Amino acid sequence: MASSLTASLNPASSPDLAKRAELSAIDASTKAPALYFLGSAVLWLLVGTVFALISSYKLHNPGFLGNIEWLTFGRSRTLHLNAVIYGWSVNASFAVALWLMARLARAELRHVGLLFIAAAFWNLGVTVGMVGIAIGDSTSIEWLEFPTYATPILFVAYALIGAWALITFRFGRAKHIYVSQWYLLAALFWFPWLYSIAQIMLLFEPTRGTVQSLVNWWFAHNVLGLWFTPIGLAAIYYFLPKVLGKPIHSYYLSVLGFWSLAIFYNWAGVHHLIGGPVPVWVQTAGIAASFMMVVPVIVTGLNQHLTLVGAASALKYSPTLRFIVFGGVNYTLTSLAGSLMAMRSWAEITHFTHYTVAHAHHGMYAFFTMVMFGSIYYILPRILLKEWPSAKLISLHFWATAGGITLYVVVMSIAGIQQGLAMNTLPVGADGHAGSPIPFLTVVAHTIQWLELRTIAGVVIAIGHIAFAINFTWMLVKPRQTATSEPTLFRHAPDLEVAR
């Protein structure tokens, strides 16, 4: 098992010289665009981290930077959200999706110069949107805060990038369509569908009344579930068996997981409007779909767990595997928590509280972002033909981000539950009758201790991001060794012999 793991992590090891040459050609074709996307992603991650710390600190110290207009909480928090969503997450998604599609389709990327232009336009659009938010042009629609003059740039850029992935698939030489490709192709279709409809119905030709709330939640929830989730699951389904050197446990469970996600998730976001002024049948449909989401979640989690059975010791060695497994476990946990939030009795407590903030970070960071980190640790050595400079920085990155996001989710969940219970409970007086509701400012004051812990968690996560950025930059600038180096592992077992 150990030798198989080491061989799978070594870019130079392969028993088939022809296959090795083919993979080298594919990796070389993806190198330039992947580095552009990943470099942009890391830069936006650091920008988003700065705004995250500012907005988090302001929650318990509102006067911090209070005299700077573009750093008020409303703008700093929105800048953080859009930097990590459209800057970090989408750029990382593009890099991972294009590399995976090329590898699985066994096809080189064609005309990468045009892909470079598309990538530049995407980041130009993100920059224009960020500046627009900073100067006060935000639309104030969650996950769609970029002003409308940034949208056409992003849409054209995405169309070109998505087309390149489809062209790569079309000209592939592989005889089979793999599980990861199902998710990638579906995500490439779902995102422009979601983004275009939401832009039209909310910004360019806005609907009226409560339909706006329905469209907003339909978009925001489905971007996570039908864009980021498929990309994350595609990465898990590729890297988990690849690193372990064994096939995924069950093809049939993969089929069930994919189609149940595609069928049920589209309706699930409506459960966030429970109790709102929308038709009850729509809320009920959202509740039913949310509970049906248990099917793909359990199936996918079971498939990943059974693949890992008997090979869990590999977690001691492989950085990619550790990040991927952490993300996979949290996909299961956050998805089950999301289904639980569809219960009307639970929604009465958790709506409009910090609990929903914890849930959003649980999905986007503990699952998706951690999977992207693991993917990058695998991809970069293969396109640069050199290994990561420091295993210690990788270890620091993992423990800081894993520990930080766990602390974040736990403390914000507790804060949200206490907050919801306080807002829904009438104290009982000495005479046994219900007294006056707890004043809202009193409820807010009771959350301050949790918000301070949130900031501490954010600082810990930021340390991990800095370690990652240093290692990433170091790897880019360090010279390539003449002899093939061993893969960067957390620890080295003396009985391992690295295949070359």
pLDDT of residue 485: 62
- With tokens 């409506």, the residue in question is 270
- With tokens 């970070």, the residue in question is 361
> Hey, what domains does the chain have and what are their CATH numbers?
27-175 (1.20.120), 311-425+437-492 (1.20.210.10)
Helices (H), 200-293: 211-223, 229-244, 251-268, 280-292
Phi, psi of 428, deg, nearest 5? -95, 125
CB atoms within 10 A of CB 171: 13
Tokens encoding 219: 């978009």
Tell me the HSE value of 309 on the side-chain side, using a 13 A CA sphere: 10
- Intervals of the chain under pLDDT 70: 1-16, 427-435, 482-486, 492-500
pTM of the entire structure? 0.93
Write the DSSP assignment of 158-193 as a string of letters: HHHHHHHHHHHHHT---SS--HHHHHHHHHHHHHHH
pLDDT of residue 174: 85
Contact between 392 and 22 under an 8 Å Cβ cutoff? The reply is no
